[in-house]
A and B are shown apart, each in its own frame.
Chain A
Amino acid sequence: MKIESVEGIKIAVPEDEHLDASNRELFKSQLEAVASSSRTERIILDLSGVRFIDSSGLGVIMTVLKGLRASGSDMVACGISKPVRVLFDMVRLDRVMSTFPTRAEALFSLLRNKAE
């Protein structure tokens, strides 16, 4: 997983194009590492390279999101591909997590919130 940082906001970019039962443990440890290093900073999960997520991958995202929320932080997702969108719509992910079409839009939204 690549990790970038823009204006204090961490951007996590999974390099596998799938997040499923086969790489669940790796994805979990990497995302948790990002979350624990970021403290109160916010995280953007850039999924533009991901073309498939199953319940395992989704489970990891939700677990990490809950942990971040508990410590007053947050995570948003961007770059949702069409197949991933099918899953997100199925579980109505929008009820619990903000998603943005592009990284720029996600950054803009988070920075504006920070400024407010």
Chain B
Amino acid sequence: MRAVAAGQAVAASFSLFSRRAVREDAARFALAAAVAFALRGSLGLALSYGSGISTFAALPLSLLAAFLSFRLFRPAATAAAAAAAGPSDAMFPRLLDNLVFSLPVALYSLLALADALALGAAAASPWALLVLLPSCFDYGASSLFAAALPAGLGIAAAAGAFSGAPRPGDAMTVALALVAAALVRGARRKSLARDYREDIERRERERSLSTMRDAEVEIAARIQRSLLLEQPAGIGEELSLEAITIASNAVDGDFYGFIPYSPSSVDILVGDVMGKGIPAALLGAALKGSFFRSSLRLIVDARGGLPGPEHLVSAVHDAVVPELMDLDSFATLQYARIDALSSRMDFVDCGHTPILHYDSSLGICWSVKGTDLPLGFSEENAYAALSLPIEPGDRLLFYSDGITEAPNGDGELFGEERLSDILTANAALEPRELVRRILNTAMFFSSANGFRDDVTCVALSIARSPSRTVRIGRDFPFAVECLPSIRAFLEQVLSDKDEVFVSRVLLATVESAANAISHGSLSVRADAVASGDDGVGDGGLLPESEAAEGTGSADGAYSADGTCTADGTCTADGTCTADGTCTADGTCTADGTCTADAGFARGSLRLECVRSPLWTAIRIIYRGDPFPWHRAPSSPDIESLPAGGLGRSLMAAAADSVLHAAGPGDLKLACIFFEQDESAAKRRRA
């Protein structure tokens, strides 16, 4: 009789687990139970059964065993619950959760039963039920009672409640069991119904929330496209501009803006806020607003004069950087002013991707970079504008790293080289077609993955027209011995300028050329000597030794007559050389003969002097390793001599802007810029 009741109790306890689709956990549970039983059995036999200690003495041991089984089983059940939370059945994890709480109690009731069997303990029956009773009111444990109640009844039976003649205590036991059963059934049904209802409601809430959110994102994207990222209106005949941006995530962390001042001049702002989505888009909009506001304020302060890009960025820095730093965010950007009338671009680069400048005079593309840090990186407010000459027919391309970092199927990135190749090959296209071609090519390239990041592309073309600058170029051997010739050449070209101005140009140019030569690659210098030895230079490239001892140096004869360089390299078809003014009239570029590899022999250094009424620029073009041109110390410190860096800081002090750019292959450009007007120079340095 007792054995049958115990068997029923055990079977009923387990029935829960077979019904509740946790069969995969049954094995783990069995293991946990076996461990608990073994522990309790051995301890119980040793401590109580043998020595006749009462059931109550065995209770703590039972609890320990129950606890252990709980600990053993819990990880599996919790993991199962977590796994089950993934799929849509929200009821399942809650039941599992109940189960986790139920198991120790169910186990304990089985242990109490075992005690009753072992000791024939009459005292165990009501107590066992009483132990279970409080759990009836425990919401979390309610589902347990399908299992625990039969177990309790089994205990009662085993204790003799249903055998022999009825006793007053038996009626109490049965009554308690019935009350418990009623309570449990009611509670369980209620809780199941509540669970179900809550799940339905929650799912509906979530669905409507996400619909609302999607709608809001869609509206945000539309606002951004139409109001924040406007298409540039026609600027004028001189400049033509096209901008395209593609958000990876409905709304865009890239931003751009344009301020056309006249048919021939425009300010272009392109930026990229860290991150994606609505927060990045809002920050981008705030930054753009700050630029326009600061621009307006500075214009008013200057009574109509245009603030320099560096002053504008500096004002925006004051307005936004504290907030950006608070938000642990930052933005990279380019702010560029292009003025076709004065043939120049002035820009501040705050850690953005380089500007690609298609140089129509040479038919190649330069990757132009500034030196300033992204907004939000540092509290230091010191920005410098860099300047470079632009010519009719040039193209400028601003882009975000979403293009260059778009990967193809093999994980290879699109890269800047491909971008500048497209620009060089399609330089004749108008901006509208150009940006489309770029985006199509990049999209095709990354078709396997699509764009992972926001993509922005802004192209600007300067209409073909007669050049407003005078450009005089000459090639020199790539060796320090050419420095006196460079000086002599410049003195000749700038003979109409005042002596102090010329001194500044000479100083910065000689420093820059010396730097290029000493930091240019060794292979290039070896080539310079070799080509001289072989006579490959054809007069254009003097061997190093000859330049040092002979015509090249002190007396300046090397450059005075102009013959030895003009016809050396720039000669492909002979058109460029006649008067030694390689680019002055622009003929050299129209037919593209004076281009990339044909034009620049290894081991030579081309010096170009570009003159406008308002400024003078020196361009030094050579082949070599990248020049390590982080920002020079702001003022040359004579007392730190002979430590390095003086040359670079002299260059920076003598010139109004010095920048280095990389071209195709190992072609490099140093561009040194001098304002003609002393007040303009002072304003820049202020």
Contact = CB atoms under 8 A, between A and B. Distances in A.
Interface of A: 16-18, 20-23, 52, 54-56, 58-59, 62-63, 82-83, 86-87, 90-93, 95-96
Given A90-B650, A91-B636, A18 B514 contact: no
Contacts of A54: 483, 507, 510-511, 514, 647, 650
B39 interface: no
A45 to B, nearest CB: 15
Interface residues of B, number: 32
Interface string B496-525: 000110111011001100100110000000
Interface stretch (B336-344, B529-537, B568-576, B637-645): B637-645
A49 B641 CA distance: 24
Interface of B is mostly: helix
A55 B500 contact: no
Interface in B406-460: none
A86 to B, nearest CB: 4
B553 interface: yes
Pairs A-B, 4 closest by C-beta atoms: A83-B503, A55-B647, A86-B503, A62-B641
B582 interface: no
A91 B632 CA distance: 14
Interface of B: 480-484, 487, 499-500, 502-504, 506-507, 510-511, 514, 517-518, 548, 553-554, 636-639, 641-642, 646-647, 650, 653-654
A23 B547 CA distance: 12
Given A18-B483, A90-B654, A59 B641 contact: yes
B639 A86 contact: no
Nearest to A95: B638
Contact of B650 (A23, A82, A87, A92): A87
Given A52-B510, A62-B642, A86 B500 contact: yes
Given A22-B482, A22-B553, A55-B646, 14 more contacts: A18-B483, A21-B480, A21-B483, A21-B514, A52-B507, A54-B647, A55-B514, A82-B503, A83-B502, A87-B507, A87-B650, A90-B636, A90-B650, A90-B654
B518 A52 contact: no
Contact of B638 (A18, A56, A96): A96
A35 B507 CA distance: 27
A90 B653 contact: yes
Contacts of B514: 20-21, 54-56
Contacts of A18: 483-484, 487, 554
12 contacts: A54-B510, A54-B511, A56-B514, A58-B638, A58-B646, A59-B641, A59-B646, A82-B499, A83-B507, A86-B654, A91-B636, A96-B639
Contacts of B553: 22-23
A63 B499 CA distance: 28
A86 B501 CA distance: 9
A86 B638 contact: no
A82 B498 CA distance: 11
Given A54-B650, A55-B647, A20 B483 contact: yes
A23 B546 CA distance: 15
Nearest to B646: A55
Contacts of B503: 82-83, 86-87
Which among B480, B484, B507 has the greatest number of chain A C-beta atoms within 10 A? B507
A52 B481 CA distance: 15
Contacts of B517: 21
A21 B484 contact: no
Contacts of B642: 59, 62-63
B481 A91 contact: no
A105 B548 CA distance: 36
Nearest to B554: A16
A55 B518 CA distance: 13
Nearest to A61: B641
A83 B499 contact: yes
Contacts of A17: 554
A13 to B, nearest CB: 15
Contacts of B480: 20-22
Contacts of B637: 91
B124 to A, nearest CB: 100
B641 A21 contact: no
A89 B186 CA distance: 97
Contact of B504 (A16, A55, A86): A86
A18 B484 CA distance: 8
A52 B507 CA distance: 8
A18 B672 CA distance: 21
A59 B518 CA distance: 16
B638 A92 contact: yes
A53 B636 CA distance: 15
Residue in B504, B514, B637 with the greatest tally of chain A CB atoms within 10 Å: B514
Contacts of B511: 54-55
A20 B518 CA distance: 13
A62 B641 CA distance: 7
A59 B511 CA distance: 13
B481 A86 contact: no
A95 B518 CA distance: 30
B494 to A, nearest CB: 12
B559 to A, nearest CB: 13
Contacts of A90: 507, 636, 650, 653-654
B12 to A, nearest CB: 96
A107 B456 CA distance: 68
A92 B640 CA distance: 13
Contacts of A52: 487, 506-507, 510
Nearest to B509: A54
A78 to B, nearest CB: 18
Contacts of A82: 499-500, 503
Contacts of B507: 52, 54, 83, 86-87, 90
Contacts of A63: 641-642
A58 B480 CA distance: 16
A93 B483 CA distance: 24
B506 A83 contact: yes
Contacts of A59: 641-642, 646
A30 B636 CA distance: 26
B641 A93 contact: no
A83 B503 CA distance: 5
A59 B482 CA distance: 20
Contacts of B510: 20-21, 52, 54
Contacts of A95: 638-639
Contacts of A62: 638, 641-642
